[in-house]
């Protein structure tokens, strides 16, 4: 057991060395200067189906392989791969109370709240119950998303839950109410799409590790084409209620180029119904009455 603990510690240290800043530097060296094609309206064309192949949805920091909740039942099905961090410096600048809450989130990440109310203290990871992922998490979940462009808006449609968001390009829209995906306003800086997002609710998690933000979350994204098949995604995260300073993340997105590439339906609501309502007997009663 002692040797196993040492091995895990060494593995974690090796993985932690490879932070997002190292990966970003290597990406810059791999891709020469690139001028993307233009839309008929003259703006850089980012349209297509894109996907991240990081393990950040499990943990945005570098991490070794680990078992998931209920490993005695799920075994390798529920295990998380080791992965590189996408956070610059591989550290989150939590305020003292927030660091404690992150640990509590992790301990209760598989907690199910059958009232379908994410504001309850006993609710685990929002992904578990099929709530929307929020931003930036929606961009590095293990599902593709598609970008559509018009002069007035850029629409991003996510396979997970069929979520979408509009990036307003013609005029700045205020965030009138709080939502999972926030309110996005965009502008072009040369070939980079810069998106400013505010107006989030207080339920956002960044990953299954319990890293979280409050309703004061402010995200500034930068989407930069690197080649016809790659795009650099960067985001600056600011939340003075939770963190002591802003922090950055970055990773590479890959374009799907298969001839039949398309988004599939991932309607997760029916998938979680048994988990949420089965313990109350509602689900079994309904199924039992079905001819």
CA separation for the pair 213, 174 (Å, rounded): 20
Nearest one of 191, 212, 77, 17 to 133, comparing CA atoms? 212
CA separation for the pair 21, 234 (Å, rounded): 11
Helices (H), 108-257: none
CA separation for the pair 83, 20 (Å, rounded): 11
Structure tokens at 219: 């995200």
pLDDT in tens, 85-140: 999 999 999 999 999 999 999 999 988 877 656 665 567 899 999 999 999 999 99
Strands 183-189 and 247-255: unpaired
Burial of 289 (0-12, 13-18, 19+ CB in 10 A): exposed
**Averaged over 233-243, what is the pLDDT?**
98
Determine if the peptide bond prior to 230 is cis (ω within 30°). Answer: no
pLDDT at 239 over 80: yes
Determine the pLDDT at residue 102.
97
Residues in the chain: 291
Determine the pLDDT at residue 131.
92
Structure tokens at 114: 């059958």
DSSP state for residue 243 in the 8-state scheme: B
Determine the pLDDT at residue 17.
47
Determine the pLDDT at residue 279.
62
Q: Is 42 left (phi over 0), alpha (psi -120 to 50) or beta?
A: left
Q: What angle do CA 177, 104, 276 make, to 5 degrees?
A: 65
pLDDT at 31 over 70: yes
Share of the chain above pLDDT 70, in %: 83
Instruction: Give the torsion through C-alpha atoms of 113, 204, 88, 159, to 10 deg.
Output: 90
pLDDT at 230 over 80: yes
Q: Phi first, then psi: give them for residue 90, nearest 5 degrees.
A: 55, 40
């Amino acid at each position: 057991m002692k040797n196993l603990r040492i091995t895990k510690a060494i593995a974690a240290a090796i993985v932690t060395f490879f932070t997002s800043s190292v990966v970003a530097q290597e990406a810059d060296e791999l891709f020469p200067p690139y001028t993307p094609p233009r839309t008929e309206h003259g703006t850089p064309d980012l349209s297509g189906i894109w996907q991240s192949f990081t393990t950040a949805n499990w943990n945005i920091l570098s991490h070794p392989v680990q078992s998931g909740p209920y490993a005695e039942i799920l075994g390798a099905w529920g295990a998380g791969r080791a992965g590189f961090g996408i956070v610059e410096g591989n550290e989150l600048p939590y305020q003292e109370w927030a660091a404690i809450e992150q640990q509590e989130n992790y301990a209760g990440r598989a907690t199910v709240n059958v009232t379908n109310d994410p504001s309850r203290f006993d609710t685990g990871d929002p992904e578990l119950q099929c709530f929307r992922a929020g931003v930036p998490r929606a961009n590095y979940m293990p599902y593709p998303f598609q970008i559509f462009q018009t002069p007035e808006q850029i629409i991003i449609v996510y396979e997970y839950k069929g979520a979408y968001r509009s990036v307003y390009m013609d005029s700045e829209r205020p965030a009138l109410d709080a939502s999972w995906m926030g309110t996005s306003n965009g502008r072009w800086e040369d070939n980079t799409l810069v998106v400013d997002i505010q107006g989030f609710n207080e339920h956002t998690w960044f990953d299954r590790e319990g890293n979280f933000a409050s309703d004061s979350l402010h995200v500034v994204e930068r989407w930069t084409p690197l080649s016809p098949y790659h795009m650099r995604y960067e985001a600056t995260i600011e939340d003075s209620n939770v963190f002591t300073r802003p922090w950055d993340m970055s990773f590479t997105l890959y374009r799907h180029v298969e001839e039949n590439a398309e988004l599939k339906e991932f309607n997760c609501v029916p998938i979680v119904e048994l988990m949420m309502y089965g313990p109350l007997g509602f689900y079994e009663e309904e199924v039992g009455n079905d001819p």
